[in-house]
Structure 1
Amino acid sequence: MLRHYFQIAWRNLMKRKFYSLINIAGLATGMACCILIGLYLYHERSYDSYHKKRDRIYRVTQTFRSVEQGTMPAAPSPQEFQVWGCAPVGPALQADFPEIEKVVQFMSPASLLMQYGEKRFQQDSLLFIDSTVFDVFSWKMIQGDPKTALVAPNTIVLTKTLAQKFFGNDNPVGKVFRVDNEDDLLITGVMEDVPPNSHFTFTGLISLASVRKVAPEMFGWWGYVDFYTYLLLKENASVESIKAKSAEFVKRNNPKDKGYAIAFEKMTDAYLHSVAGRQPGPTGSLLNVYLFLCIAVFIMLIACINFMNLSTARSLERAKEVGVRKVLGVKPSSLMWQFLFESILLSLGAVVIALMLAHPGMALIEKLSGKEIAYVNFFSPLVFAGIVVFAVIVGMLAGIYPAIVLSGFRAITVLKGRFNPTGGNISFRKALVVFQFTLSIALIAGTIIVYNQLHFLNSHDLGFQKSQMLVLDFENDQGVRKNIEAIKKAIAGQPGVIAVAASRAVPGEFLPNAGTSIQTPEGQMTNKVPLIYEIDFDFIPTYRIPMVAGRSYSRAYLTDSAGAMVINEAAAKMYGYSNPADAVGKKFEQWGRKGTIIGVVKDFNFRSLHKPVEPLTLRYGYPWSLNRISVAIKGDNVSATLASLHKTWDKLAPQRPFLYHFLDDSFNDQYKADQHFGKLFTFFSCLAIIIACLGLLGLSTFMAQQRVKEIGVRKVLGSSVSGIVLLLSKDFIKLVLIAVVIAVPLCILAMNEWLNDFSYRISIGPLVFLEAGFITVSIAMITIAWQSVKAARVNPVQSLRNE
């Protein structure tokens, strides 16, 4: 029986090569898309799953809220917590809770100038971390002892990539780095690179004991924030028991801070499920995961609908075959299984092609997503079995309706030649066409919305000068700090330079919070925790940040460097001033400095447009706190300006390499994930349209063949080619227009959810759907017209000579 099924399937495949090719191509492309999306989503959901003790690892999230004296704060929401917190919480938790086996803490990533011999690099993503790191996380040491590698101060463990960067294939253990031209680090180990599916990464680990040696006091400050705290629970211990006692723990250990609270997050939830702020690395989007899952389902449905439409449309060709088989005694159920077998066979053939497409497609997905996705062996028993099951399910889904239709024909009707496709079958085919183009139009509209939002992010007025701003990075270099004014003056004198300023950070970079008391309209000193920029006299005018009240820092006022502060409009509102001018002249206290507010700047977007403008204080920064020099340059002859600056820098700061970047590039790095999402969304949307048009091409070709004699008669009676093309096209165009109407609310619902992640966003207007509808109708017209013109230009003598 199976051999007979194979023979029949092969004959039908060869008999109609064009339609078979369309069916296989559509299914193969749809399956390849599903496989690629599946691998991408598996990667997104696999973050931190390689840690052997992952189910016992939690991290501490903390909130630092301002509380009015004499009031009780409400329970904090999950969004009020941040992963970045204070140091003493870790040891205190381990001392109070026997359920905790190990605690590991690390500081914000550091960038250090590292030198060995003649090789010198500014190395980013270095972590100062506890020696317990290898007891908690499953990172493999290649050389060195994980138990002792980070116990002593001034020791470092390199990742394999960093070790090869400096030492090639030589063993670096025991060698010494010179760091920032003043300290030494002993290399005590080399570890494997951190897997790409980690919620935070690094290039090297430096012992936290190095920091304890020079600044032991900060490890006892509950108000000093610069640490990430992770816990390893003992086996069979429950985090719930710790959560239940966390409020008492805070009261016992930090009784003075009424706004302080802690919570706990499972490490495996960090990448996709965490809503806490100040993450140690980039986070993913669960909504994006669901959107791509929907796209995979949409694409597969479109491919299956193509199969259904072509199979039911061609039912007339196989009607007599069904009639003969039924007369010979074949049961309808056997016929149904035969047709199902044919579709499953076709699906199995398509999945082979899909796997061949998926292999090179994986490199493209990595490029579009900007992520390194682990290789999957499609021929491993488990994966191969899953792919075969997937192909069988797709074959059954695509073939079930055609099998029911074909096996249901009445033998006597079809053998008498009176058979015609029923109105119900035609209506169902039309409904399927509407459904697949509804999905396609929704994807096109979604792509337009994504790209409009990305364009908005890049073109939105941020409130400061972002273009033609060069940022020189000197990260903690004491030589530069001591001569900062002389270096700035020399840079300002170079051709092509407009203005120069110095600061601790620049827009788009990480900012600390600062406990700040400001006098309210009622005259009380109220403490809150705004963000802080440490800047020099020239920062505000160099970045062209408008003042809305008061004035900026000025060298003409001797007290500005010690007793003045500038805030933004959001900070003024936070302290109760709806009119920014009313905040000018009010007293402040911040980090040991007292004075008066001298000015209020207009709110500017110093962070990503995902976030609203937050309260900000712009504090005068002494040279020892500065890390960046910002240089506003002219747009013409940039290469000559850079060469001149490089020469000047080497002369004034020979101990420091000339490292620079353009601010617009670094600021836009915040939108990398959104840009990668847009590229992936567009890629799969285009494939969905291509698959839908394949089906439309096949269906229009078949319909033209079915109406070849009608076309001949119409041509004999004087119909033009354009009239016949319109006749063959109008029914399909009507279906596409109906799909546009249905797609609008679906797309608005889905894309509004995506846009809600941005504090600054576009609105979804009717133009988006007019564009999507026009694109879809145009593509459909081109697809249909090609075959319609071909049919209309056939000589009517050829189509009517048998009449």
Structure 2
Amino acid sequence: MFKHFLLIARRNLLKRKFYSFINIIGLAIGMTCCILIALYVENELSYDRYNTKHDHIYRVAQTFRSFEKGQKVTTPLPEDYQVWGCAPVGPALAADFPQVKDVVQFMSPVSLLLEFGDKRLQQENLVCIDSTAFKVFSWKLLYGNPQTALVAPNSIVLTQKVAEKFFGNDNPVGKSLRVNNGDNFTVTGVVADVPANSQINFNGLISMTTARKWREDIFNYWGYVDFYTYFVLKDHADIAAMKAGIPAFIKRHNSEDPGYTIAFEKMDDAYLYSKAARQPGPVGSMSNIYLFCCIGIIILIIACVNFMNLSTARSLERAKEVGVRKVMGVQPSALRWQFLFESLLISTVAAVLAVVLTKFSLPLVSALSGKDFTPKEFFNFQLFIWMVGLTLTTGLLAGVYPAWFLSRFQPVEVLKGVFRPSVNSISLRKALVIFQFTLSITLIAGTAIVYTELKFLNNHDLGFAKDQMLVLNFEGDEQVQKNIERIKKSLADQPGVLSVAASRAVPGEFLPNAGTDIQGPDGQMKNKIPLIYEIDFDFIKTLQIPLVAGRNYSRAFLTDSTQSMVINEAAAKMYGYRHPADAVGKKFAQWGRQGTIIGVVKNFNFRSLHTEVEPLTLRYGMPDMLNRILVAVKADHISATIAALEKTWKTEAPQRPFLYHFLDESFNKQYESDQHFGYLFSLFSCLASLIACLGLFGLATFTAQQRIKEIGIRKVLGASVSNIVVLISKDFMRLVLIAIVIAIPLCLLIMNQWLKDFAYRITISPGIFIATAAISILIALVTISWQTVRAALANPVPSIKNE
């Protein structure tokens, strides 16, 4: 039986090569999309799962809210928490909860100048961490002892990539690195590079005892925020019991702060499900995963619909075959199995082709997604099992209805030549064409909306000047800090430089919060926790941030550096001022400094446009708090200006390498994940449209062949080529127009939900759908016209003579 089915299937595939090609290519592209989307989704779902204890690891989320005296303390919402918190909570958890096995804390990454011999590099993303790191996280040490590597002060563990920069392939344990032209750090280990699908990434680990040596006081202060706290739960311990004990825990340790509380988040949920702010690394989007899964299913369904449409459309060709077989005694069930076997055979061929297409697509998808998909990881036993399942699913999904439809033909009608396709079968084909084009058009319109939103983000007025703005990174170098004004002046004297400023951070970078008291409209001091920029006199002017009330910092006022503060509109509103001008002259107290508000700047987007502008204080920063120099340069001769700046820097700060980047480039990195999403969305939308067009092309070809005699007669009677093209095309175009009408509200529903992730978003305009409709109609016309024009131009004589 199997051999018989294989023989018949082979004959049919070879006999109708064109339709077989369309079916196989369509299914192969659909399967390829499913595989690629599955790889992407698997990567997103696997974040932090490389840790062997991942299902027992939790982290502490903390709230630092402010409540005035007498104000009711409300239950915090999930978005009120942040993962970035204080240090004392870690030891307190270990002491109070017997369920806790190990606790590890690490600080925000720092950038240090490392030197070994003649090699001198500014190394980013170095993290101070507890010695228990290797007990909690599954980071593999290539050299060194995990028990002692992070115990002693001035100990550093390098990643393999960084170690190779300084020491090649040698074992560096025991060797010293000079740090920031001062202390020597001893290399106590080399850790294998952390997997890319990890929220916690670093280039090196510094012992926490080193940080204690730098600032012992912050480790006992519940109000100082710069630590991430993770812990391992003991086997069979109950996290619910720990959560129930949180109120008593807070009462014992920090009862004086009503706005402080903690919550526990499972590490497995951190990347995709956490709503807490100040994450230690990248975060994913569960809605994007759902969307891509839907796209994968949609594309596969469109490919299967093509198969069903072409199979049922060609029913007349196979009707006699079915009739003869039934007369010879073949049961309908056997015929169904035969047609299902053909479908599974086509699906199998398509699956093999899909694996090949996927292999060659991996570099492109890696570039578009920002993830590293390698063929080595791709080809495994899991893929084999997955492909078997996908092949069976696709074959059955595409073949069940055609098998049932074809096996129902009545042999008497077929062999008499009176068989005609039923109205129901024709209606179903039309419905399937509408269905697949509805999905395709929805994806095309969705792509247009995604790119319109991303363009809006790139072109949105942020409220400050970021173009032609160089950021020189000196990471708190003491010599630069001491001579900051002289260095700024030397840089400002170079041709092509418009202005120079200094600050602790620049827009797009990490900012701390600061407990700040500001006098409210009622005259009482109100305590809130806004963000803080530490800046110099020239920061606001250089970034061209508009003032809406009061004045900027000025060297003409001696108290500006010690008794003055500038805030933004959001901060003025938070403290109760409807009009920014009313906040000018009010008293403030912040981090040991007291004085008055001298100005209010217009809200500017110093963070991603995913969030609204937050309350911000712009505090004058003493030189020992500054890390960045901003240089506004003219648009012309930028290369020459940079060369002049580098020469000046080497003269003024020879101990420090000249490191710079453009502010707009670093700021736009916040939207990399959105850009990658847009690239992938566009790719899969194009492929979905291609598959739909393949099906339409096949149907148009078949329709033209079926109506070849009618076309010949019409030509003889004087019909023009355009008349015939319109005749054949109008039925298909009617279906496409119906699909457009259905796709518009469907797209609006889906994309409005996606846009909710952006605080600043476009309003979806009718123009997007008009353009999408025009593109869809044009694509359909081009697809159909290839065959209809060919049929209309053919010589009518052979078609009329053939009977």
* Contact 1:471/1:628 (8 A) holds in 2: yes
Give the distance between the partners of 1:11 and 1:35, measured in 2 at CA: 30
Q: How big is the shift at 1:373? A: 3.4
Within 5 A, what are the aligned runs for 1:337-736? 337-373=337-373, 380-736=380-736
Which residue of structure 2 aligns with residue 21 of structure 1? 21
Give the distance between the partners of 2:373 and 2:82, measured in 1 at CA: 29
Aligned letter for 1:637? H
Q: How big is the shift at 1:380? A: 3.8
Which SS does the other structure have where 1:345 is aligned?
Answer: helix
Which residue of structure 2 aligns with residue 283 of structure 1? 283
Give the distance between the partners of 2:213 and 2:145, measured in 1 at CA: 22
* Contact 2:362/2:374 (8 A) holds in 1: no
Q: Deviations over 1:67-95 (max 9, x none)?
A: 11123311000000000000000001111
Q: Deviations over 1:660-688 (max 9, x none)?
A: 00000000000000000000000111011
Q: How big is the shift at 1:215? A: 1.3
Give the distance between the partners of 2:353 and 2:413, measured in 1 at CA: 40
Which SS does the other structure have where 1:177 is aligned?
Answer: strand
* Contact 2:131/2:149 (8 A) holds in 1: yes
Give the distance between the partners of 1:693 and 1:264, measured in 2 at CA: 51
Give the distance between the partners of 1:228 and 1:716, measured in 2 at CA: 83
Which SS does the other structure have where 1:510 is aligned?
Answer: coil
**Could you say if the C-alpha distance between residues 760 and 652 of structure 1 is closer, same or farther in structure 2, counting changes exceeding 3 Å?**
same
Q: How big is the shift at 1:555? A: 0.4
Aligned letter for 1:615? P
Q: Deviations over 1:728-764 (max 9, x none)?
A: 1111111111001111111111111111000000011
Which SS does the other structure have where 1:355 is aligned?
Answer: helix
**Superposition RMSD in Å:** 0.9
Which residue of structure 2 aligns with residue 799 of structure 1? 799
Q: How big is the shift at 1:259? A: 0.5
Give the distance between the partners of 2:641 and 2:696, measured in 1 at CA: 57
Q: Deviations over 1:167-190 (max 9, x none)?
A: 111111111111111111100001
The worse-fitting range, judged by mean Cα deviation, of 286-295 and 207-216 is 207-216
Q: How big is the shift at 1:377? A: 5.5
**Ranges in structure 2 where 5+ consecutive residues have no aligned partner:** none
Which residue of structure 1 aligns with residue 318 of structure 2? 318
Give the distance between the partners of 2:224 and 2:739, measured in 1 at CA: 58
* Contact 1:340/1:399 (8 A) holds in 2: yes
Which residue of structure 1 aligns with residue 4 of structure 2? 4
* Contact 2:52/2:138 (8 A) holds in 1: yes
* Contact 1:469/1:630 (8 A) holds in 2: yes
* Contact 1:43/1:373 (8 A) holds in 2: no
Which residue of structure 1 aligns with residue 52 of structure 2? 52
**Could you say if the C-alpha distance between residues 269 and 376 of structure 1 is closer, same or farther in structure 2, counting changes exceeding 3 Å?**
farther
Q: How big is the shift at 1:379? A: 5.6
Which residue of structure 1 aligns with residue 165 of structure 2? 165
The worse-fitting range, judged by mean Cα deviation, of 372-381 and 214-223 is 372-381
Which residue of structure 2 aligns with residue 309 of structure 1? 309
Aligned letter for 2:413? T
Aligned letter for 1:779? I
Give the distance between the partners of 2:374 and 2:209, measured in 1 at CA: 35
Give the distance between the partners of 1:274 and 1:170, measured in 2 at CA: 41
Q: Deviations over 1:336-383 (max 9, x none)?
A: 111011101110111000000111112211110111236566664443
Give the distance between the partners of 1:512 and 1:382, measured in 2 at CA: 45
Give the distance between the partners of 2:140 and 2:539, measured in 1 at CA: 45
Give the distance between the partners of 1:89 and 1:284, measured in 2 at CA: 27
Give the distance between the partners of 1:379 and 1:494, measured in 2 at CA: 57
Aligned letter for 1:638? I
Which SS does the other structure have where 1:186 is aligned?
Answer: strand
Q: How big is the shift at 1:386? A: 2.5
* Contact 1:65/1:260 (8 A) holds in 2: yes
Give the distance between the partners of 1:61 and 1:672, measured in 2 at CA: 26
TM-score for both structures, normalised by structure 1: 0.99
* Contact 1:107/1:226 (8 A) holds in 2: yes
Is 1:299 aligned to residue 299 of structure 2? yes
Give the distance between the partners of 2:551 and 2:469, measured in 1 at CA: 23
Q: Deviations over 1:539-558 (max 9, x none)?
A: 11111111100000000000
Q: Deviations over 1:770-799 (max 9, x none)?
A: 111111111111010011111100001121
Which SS does the other structure have where 2:101 is aligned?
Answer: strand
Give the distance between the partners of 2:722 and 2:772, measured in 1 at CA: 25
* Contact 2:359/2:375 (8 A) holds in 1: no
Q: How big is the shift at 1:449? A: 0.4
The worse-fitting range, judged by mean Cα deviation, of 18-27 and 745-754 is 745-754
Aligned letter for 1:201? N
* Contact 1:113/1:180 (8 A) holds in 2: yes
Give the distance between the partners of 1:375 and 1:146, measured in 2 at CA: 33
Aligned letter for 1:612? E
* Contact 2:66/2:529 (8 A) holds in 1: yes
Within 5 A, what are the aligned runs for 1:148-187? 148-187=148-187
* Contact 1:142/1:190 (8 A) holds in 2: yes
* Contact 1:465/1:544 (8 A) holds in 2: yes
Give the distance between the partners of 2:575 and 2:135, measured in 1 at CA: 46
Which residue of structure 1 aligns with residue 143 of structure 2? 143
The worse-fitting range, judged by mean Cα deviation, of 363-372 and 217-226 is 363-372
Aligned letter for 2:528? K
Q: Deviations over 1:491-535 (max 9, x none)?
A: 110000001100000111110000000000000001000000000
* Contact 1:43/1:374 (8 A) holds in 2: no
**Could you say if the C-alpha distance between residues 696 and 243 of structure 1 is closer, same or farther in structure 2, counting changes exceeding 3 Å?**
same
Aligned letter for 1:362? L
Give the distance between the partners of 2:174 and 2:373, measured in 1 at CA: 34
Within 5 A, what are the aligned runs for 1:742-757? 742-757=742-757
Aligned letter for 2:733? I
Q: Deviations over 1:673-719 (max 9, x none)?
A: 00000000001110111111111111100000000000000100111
Give the distance between the partners of 1:79 and 1:509, measured in 2 at CA: 20
Aligned letter for 1:500? V
Which SS does the other structure have where 1:271 is aligned?
Answer: helix
Q: How big is the shift at 1:577? A: 0.2
Is 1:112 aligned to residue 106 of structure 2? no
* Contact 1:377/1:383 (8 A) holds in 2: no
Give the distance between the partners of 1:378 and 1:350, measured in 2 at CA: 18
Give the distance between the partners of 1:318 and 1:407, measured in 2 at CA: 10
Which residue of structure 2 aligns with residue 196 of structure 1? 196
Which residue of structure 2 aligns with residue 63 of structure 1? 63
Is 1:784 aligned to residue 784 of structure 2? yes
Q: How big is the shift at 1:802? A: 2.6
How many residues in Structure 1 have an aligned counterpart in Structure 2?
Answer: 803
Give the distance between the partners of 2:510 and 2:19, measured in 1 at CA: 58
Which SS does the other structure have where 2:619 is aligned?
Answer: strand
Give the distance between the partners of 1:234 and 1:383, measured in 2 at CA: 35
The worse-fitting range, judged by mean Cα deviation, of 662-671 and 158-167 is 158-167
Give the distance between the partners of 1:595 and 1:8, measured in 2 at CA: 91
Aligned letter for 2:95? A
Q: How big is the shift at 1:461? A: 0.5
Which residue of structure 2 aligns with residue 738 of structure 1? 738
Which SS does the other structure have where 2:450 is aligned?
Answer: helix
Aligned letter for 1:217? D
* Contact 2:173/2:187 (8 A) holds in 1: yes
Which SS does the other structure have where 2:111 is aligned?
Answer: strand
TM-score for both structures, normalised by structure 2: 0.99
**Could you say if the C-alpha distance between residues 382 and 676 of structure 1 is closer, same or farther in structure 2, counting changes exceeding 3 Å?**
closer
